[in-house]
Structure 1
């Protein structure tokens, strides 16, 4: 579903990513783990085409999108849930959900009825402005909005940060449901216990380089070591 090959990126003269390569298969959740400043968010921005000072190749569903602008990457099947959620504060929940266009042929697009079944709180607050939602409600809206477009690959940046356990649990359920329908997910996540409940594999990023690929069992066995490494 998603292949990243030898991606490097710079901010000014500083190299932030150094020849990063990884893959995400259909129906697979893969997490990016690393300290703050390791380059995780920059990598997602590069994949989505939001950071232009990069080299390397990004392939989505067999299509090379390395030179494509963000909207064409979205049409190719990429969906982005940023760390700031990107909610339109002045639009209602329903307007936020119906604003993004659904690309032609996006068979996996979630209709509004399915969104409201999966996120009852959004159904209850469909007329409320996005800016009046709680942090957890905004996170669910951001995730639901991407699923509405029929994205085949989700890029999720810290979706559980600062949220109540019950909201974290619901986000995990939705990611597992998307996974069961063949959606690939590249997830930036510091909550290792949550990550092991949804992910199949993990990449450890350090100073802009992939230094280790880990199976779920490895993360569980080395949880204390990894938490110390991450400074958590």
Structure 2
């Protein structure tokens, strides 16, 4: 794992979490630098989603330390974490399917000084501008994912937590999600995402943490992921 430094935006130390009697996270430590895209890779059940929920303050049975921009947020409720620039895109995308694109973007409150204007959202994601009057049910899977990302940026997220953004999408839509992530990064937003598609992860991320049995077991750069892609795919059972 890389050493925390002046550019560290998120610093996670010894995070442990339970689901009932089951110990899901066994002491996760990692860091993410400002402007990075970092992936969490691991088998289903390894604790990746639970970790994101802990970072967002949505999982109450947690111990350990979470520091965002030098501020300890470990015991802070989720709505206050939002105001500090932490945004969460769940695996079900969480959009309001009966509302229009524009209603989805404008209904949630802006929570910080870095909130994107509606104009910036439409300039960055022109497809959403074209679909602004359409309801969420009429969007493709890729467009729904785009909307879910744009919504948290509109609220003011500077660090985006994304859970399996490519899950269930066709290859062409996976490419679109890659474009979204690269665009977000180009705007200075930091991204920590769960991603099972190892090849895709290596095209969008700077670094990768391999999670197994509730622990970080390896930190890999893209060169290592590409070199060991076959091994990783076998390990993940893909």
Could you state the TM-score of these two structures normalised by the residue count of structure 2?
0.92
Is 1:78 aligned to 2:86, yes or no?
yes
Shift of residue 198, structure 1, vs aligned partner: 1.1
Shift of residue 222, structure 1, vs aligned partner: 0.2
Aligned to 1:31: 39
> Deviation string for 1:1-44 (max 9, x for gaps)?
11111100000110000110001111101100000000000000
Shift of residue 199, structure 1, vs aligned partner: 0.7
Aligned to 1:91: 99
Provide the C-alpha distance between the structure 2 equivalents of 1:96 and 1:186, rounded to a whole number of angstroms.
Answer: 23
SS of the residue corresponding to residue 121 of structure 1 reads: helix
8 Å CA contact 1:87, 1:131 repeated in 2: no
Which of 14, 21, 41 pairs up with 1:6? Answer: 14
SS of the residue corresponding to residue 157 of structure 2 reads: coil
Aligned to 1:52: 60
Shift of residue 63, structure 1, vs aligned partner: 1.2
Report the number of matched residues.
230
Which of 150, 161, 164 pairs up with 1:158? Answer: 164
Which of 142, 147, 162 pairs up with 1:136? Answer: 142
Which of 207, 214, 217 pairs up with 2:213? Answer: 207
After TM superposition, the structure 1 stretch with the greater mean CA deviation from structure 2, 160-169 or 215-224, is 160-169
Alignment RMSD:
1.3
8 Å CA contact 2:100, 2:133 repeated in 1: yes
Alignment gaps of 5+ in structure 1: none
Is 1:169 aligned to 2:175, yes or no?
yes
8 Å CA contact 1:16, 1:39 repeated in 2: yes
Provide the C-alpha distance between the structure 1 equivalents of 2:70 and 2:177, rounded to a whole number of angstroms.
Answer: 28
1:104-115 alignment runs, 5 A limit: 104-106=112-114, 109-115=115-121
> Deviation string for 1:51-71 (max 9, x for gaps)?
100000111111111111111
Provide the C-alpha distance between the structure 1 equivalents of 2:187 and 2:14, rounded to a whole number of angstroms.
Answer: 29
Aligned to 2:4: none
Provide the C-alpha distance between the structure 2 equivalents of 1:176 and 1:121, rounded to a whole number of angstroms.
Answer: 16
Provide the C-alpha distance between the structure 2 equivalents of 1:137 and 1:183, rounded to a whole number of angstroms.
Answer: 20
Aligned to 1:182: 188
Provide the C-alpha distance between the structure 2 equivalents of 1:145 and 1:79, rounded to a whole number of angstroms.
Answer: 9
SS of the residue corresponding to residue 30 of structure 1 reads: strand
8 Å CA contact 2:85, 2:159 repeated in 1: yes
Aligned to 2:73: 65
SS of the residue corresponding to residue 154 of structure 1 reads: strand
Which of 9, 22, 39 pairs up with 2:30? Answer: 22
Aligned to 1:103: 111
1:215-226 alignment runs, 5 A limit: 215-226=221-232
